[in-house]
């Protein structure tokens, strides 16, 4: 009887192995302080040149961009900034008319604003008035992240051209 119970236990255990499942939590991404933050999405729908707030500032939070998609109606220069007319997070990038510019930096991220800064998209049209459409995926990260000028225990903006 006991042997039968043991065999039954084994028979039950083996099929259970097939249902063993490890799932990556794609609803959250890590921040530099080790905490996780829920993934958020925002649309990009801007016209004319100048500063455009793509993500408003969140008190005590840095904004880490995981990917973005841009589709301009005309040839355009774009630069991501931490704050309006703020610290450059990229160079000024030329993007051609109707180019599908998908920048996928998952899982590590493309760049990150300073704590408390909005995410700004600076545009300047080369072909007169141009619209730029698209979307962006990001997370809000806690206050332990540092500013893009580097240093400290949070994220680090390295390189030379900062």
Partner 1 sequence: MKGMFRGFLLVLAFTLFPVSSWAISLVHQDTTHAYCDGPASSRIRYAIIDHNTSGDNTVIAAVAGKSLKVLSYSMTATGSVTARWESGAGGTALSGQMTMATGVPIVCNGAPYGCFQTGVGALLNLELSGAVSVDGHITYVECG
- For partner 1, the binding residues (CB under 8 A) are 2-3, 6, 9-10, 13-14, 16-17, 19-25, 28-32, 34, 36, 75, 77, 79-80, 88-97, 99, 101-112, 148, 155-162
Which residues pair with residue 69 across a beta bridge?
102, 135
What separation in angstroms does the CA of 151 have from each of 71, 77, 121, 147, 157? 34, 30, 25, 8, 8
Q: Closest separation between CB of residue 112 and partner 1, Å?
A: 7
Euclidean distance between CA atoms 135 and 118, whole angstroms? 16
Residues in the chain: 162
> Which residue number, 43 or 104, has a Cβ lying nearer to partner 1?
104
Nearest to 72 by CA among 90, 53, 48: 48
Q: Closest separation between CB of residue 124 and partner 1, Å?
A: 12
> Which residue number, 28 or 48, has a Cβ lying nearer to partner 1?
28
Q: Closest separation between CB of residue 53 and partner 1, Å?
A: 20
Within 8 A by CB and 6+ apart from 161, the residues are: 91
> Which residue number, 83 or 148, has a Cβ lying nearer to partner 1?
148
> Which residue number, 51 or 87, has a Cβ lying nearer to partner 1?
87
Q: Closest separation between CB of residue 114 and partner 1, Å?
A: 12
What separation in angstroms does the CA of 8 have from each of 1, 13, 19, 20? 11, 9, 18, 19
Report whether 135 contacts 31 (CB < 8 A).
no
Q: Closest separation between CB of residue 6 and partner 1, Å?
A: 5
> Which residue number, 56 or 161, has a Cβ lying nearer to partner 1?
161
């Amino acid at each position: 009887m006991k042997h039968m119970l043991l065999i039954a236990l084994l028979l039950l255990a083996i099929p259970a192995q097939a249902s063993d499942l490890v799932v990556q939590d794609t609803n959250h991404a890590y921040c530099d302080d080790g905490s996780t933050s829920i993934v958020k999405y925002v649309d990009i729908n801007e016209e004319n040149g100048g500063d455009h707030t793509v993500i408003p500032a969140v008190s005590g939070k840095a904004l880490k961009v995981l990917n973005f998609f841009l589709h301009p109606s005309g040839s355009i220069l774009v630069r991501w900034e931490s704050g309006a007319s703020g610290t450059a997070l990229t160079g000024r990038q030329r993007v051609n008319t109707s180019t599908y510019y998908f920048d996928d930096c998952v899982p590590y991220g493309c760049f990150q604003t300073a704590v408390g800064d909005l995410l700004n998209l600076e545009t300047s049209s080369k072909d007169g008035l141009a619209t730029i459409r698209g979307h962006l995926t990001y997370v809000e990260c806690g206050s332990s992240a540092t500013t893009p000028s580097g240093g400290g225990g949070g994220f680090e903006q390295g390189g030379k051209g900062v």
